[in-house]
Structure 1
Amino acid sequence: MSETGLPPSWEIRISKSRGIPYYFHPQTQESRWDSPPGTDSEKLKAYMATKFSSSGGSDQNSKPQGEKIRAAHLLVKHEGSRRPSSWKDSEITRTKDEARDILRGHEQRIRAGEITLADLAKTESDCSSARKGGDLGYFGRGDMQKEFEDAAFGLSPGEMSGIVETASGLHLIERIS
């Protein structure tokens, strides 16, 4: 058992959309709002009180300051996504290939200048960031899934990625700054 009181391999992360802690298991890609079975509740409570107290903001503010970038994305989930549901579909049943075809169509429209990623994300993205045009705000290394992070940090401001696959689904990523 770690100092957090969580079972082995479980981590505490901060939700980008809500700004609050959640629990994540990197090997299984499971994430949850409630602590996982086998948690030492007293240890977790003490850890959370020291690391995530409301006096002075979240733990994110106390992280070492490294390079931070800002990006937006358009996410298309599929039946194999770690959470195959979204704000617009309670159950996503499309295949990964169907998701890829949808995203290719979006990519073509954006690259042709018909529509911006931000405008398309508002109605087509399966991420809760859709209401903000897919804007994820500023993040640093270690804040996002590795594939997403590598692609985003590899872009120049104003540049858009090709299709990027993560456990969440398929993304188009546009670096803002």
Structure 2
Amino acid sequence: MVETGLPDGWEVRHSNSKNLPYYFNPETKVSSWEPPSGTNPEKLKVYMAEYHSSGGIRPGPSAANEGKIRCAHLLVKHEGSRRPSSWREAKVTRTKDEAMEIILAHESKIRSGTESLGDLAVTESDCSSARKKGDLGFFGKGDMQKEFEDAAFALKPGEVSHVVETASGLHLIERLQ
């Protein structure tokens, strides 16, 4: 049996409406986008990277996406984040300074070419978009938090931002299209 890192009785299922994995306990009928308490985050990280990350398919723009851009991001939350929990950990307790150290180390790997943002996002991002290599899809002006949007729209396709701070936490953003 494959080790998921989830507590007994829990499993990973796939949402057809959101096209994302979620956590489900068939016995209690409880479902959650966030891992249940008692999850082993390291084992879950390995399992999700192996079985629930996308192949990075990047379709081209269409008329429906006129005026929109497509980005991926890597999010590191801290205790002061708007919602200090994630699929990786039920309660984020790191300080903002600790989160900054973590994201700067990720940025260094990306800029040196040793890791891509998408590959790092799969295991290191605190956003559920990690399952899609951080891909947020297409969005337009007014769809995202202002700081995020300003940084994303300032990028050219293929460029990666420096650290961007929002109420959600600290981000690195890569403009895909």
Q: Which residue of 1 aligns with 2:75?
A: 75
* 1:14-33 → structure 2 map (5 Å cutoff): 18=18
Mapped to 2, the partners of 1:88 and 1:18 lie a distance apart of: 19
Contact 2:65 / 2:138 at 8 angstroms: preserved in 1?
Answer: no
Q: 1:65 to 1:137 in 2, by over 3 A?
A: closer
Post-superposition Cα deviations, 1:86-113, rounded to whole Å, max 9, x if no partner, equal: 0010000000000000000000001000
Q: Which residue of 2 aligns with 1:143?
A: 143
Mapped to 2, the partners of 1:144 and 1:128 lie a distance apart of: 16
Q: Which residue of 2 aligns with 1:122?
A: 122
Which amino acid in 2 is paired with 1:78? Answer: H
Which amino acid in 1 is paired with 2:170? Answer: L
Give 1:67 shift.
1.1
Q: Which residue of 2 aligns with 1:170?
A: 170
Give 1:157 shift.
0.2
Contact 2:72 / 2:118 at 8 angstroms: preserved in 1?
Answer: yes
RMSD, matched Cα: 1.7
Q: Which residue of 2 aligns with 1:53?
A: none
Mapped to 1, the partners of 2:82 and 2:145 lie a distance apart of: 12
Q: Which residue of 1 aligns with 2:111?
A: 111
1:132 lines up with 2:132 in the alignment: yes
Which amino acid in 2 is paired with 1:103? Answer: I
Aligned residues: 117
Q: 1:98 to 1:68 in 2, by over 3 A?
A: same
Ranges in structure 2 where 5+ consecutive residues have no aligned partner: 1-16, 20-63
Contact 1:75 / 1:127 at 8 angstroms: preserved in 2?
Answer: yes
Ranges in structure 1 where 5+ consecutive residues have no aligned partner: 1-16, 20-63
Mapped to 2, the partners of 1:109 and 1:65 lie a distance apart of: 31
Mapped to 2, the partners of 1:18 and 1:128 lie a distance apart of: 11
Mapped to 2, the partners of 1:103 and 1:128 lie a distance apart of: 17
SS of 2:165's equivalent in the other structure is strand
Contact 1:66 / 1:141 at 8 angstroms: preserved in 2?
Answer: no
* 1:20-59 → structure 2 map (5 Å cutoff): none
Mapped to 1, the partners of 2:128 and 2:66 lie a distance apart of: 26
State TM-score, norm by structure 1: 0.64
Post-superposition Cα deviations, 1:9-50, rounded to whole Å, max 9, x if no partner, equal: xxxxxxxx949xxxxxxxxxxxxxxxxxxxxxxxxxxxxxxx
Which amino acid in 2 is paired with 1:159? Answer: E
- Give the greater-gyration-radius structure (CA): 1
